[in-house]
Amino acid sequence: MDSREQVEPHVVWTVVDSGIGPLLLAASREGLVNVVFHATDAVRDRAVERLAARLGTEPVEAPGSPLLAEAIRQFEAYFAGGRRDFELPLDWSLISGFNRAVLRELASGVPYGQVVGYGDLAGRVGQPGAAQAVGMAMGANPLPVVVPCHRVVESDGGIGGFGGGLETKRRLLALEGVLPEPLF
């Protein structure tokens, strides 16, 4: 183990303000591993406990960590309207199988300002007819915003569900120009 590994914990986290409320960002040495909406104290504490259980290591609050610095910068730029794409290393260890395939396709194949239907996304990963399974994958997304599950909508034009709440989804889609900004 080199001295850098002794100083930098395996998983670090911080809470940042955003255009949609406080977000918990967690990163490992491999990359950003988790983004959690509405990171109030209680939500934050539960998220950190879940990360510890799933990753087998105690996440450390470290807002100044080099592992988080670029993610924080890119989130700030995104919410300020100055960034359309995230260019961050991602740690996919919290997701596997079909869900991982769907989320990777979403991350690489649905650009800023565009949306895709649940069924269309299922077809893109070779599973036509698996729209409900795609919905489950969206709900299991450990990296929302960066892996843009807010861009997945119903084929009939409905907004669909969203783990961060429908108002958060509307605000993200408005930020990207898909929906008009709310009047109030």
- Residue 129 burial by Cβ neighbours in a 10 Å radius (0-12, 13-18, 19+): exposed
Q: Could you tell me which residues are beta bridge partners of residue 43? A: none
Angle at which helix 97-109 crosses helix 131-139, to 10 degrees, equals 90
Contact at 8 Å (CB) between 155 and 120?
A: yes
Hey, what are 103's tokens?
């989320």
Q: Is the CB of residue 117 less than 8 Å from the CB of residue 155?
A: yes
Catalytic residue check, 149: yes
Catalytic residue among 134, 149, 152, 172: 149
How does 157-173 read in b/e, with b if 16+ C-beta sit within 10 Å? eebbbbbbeeebbbbbb
Q: Which positions are catalytic?
A: 149
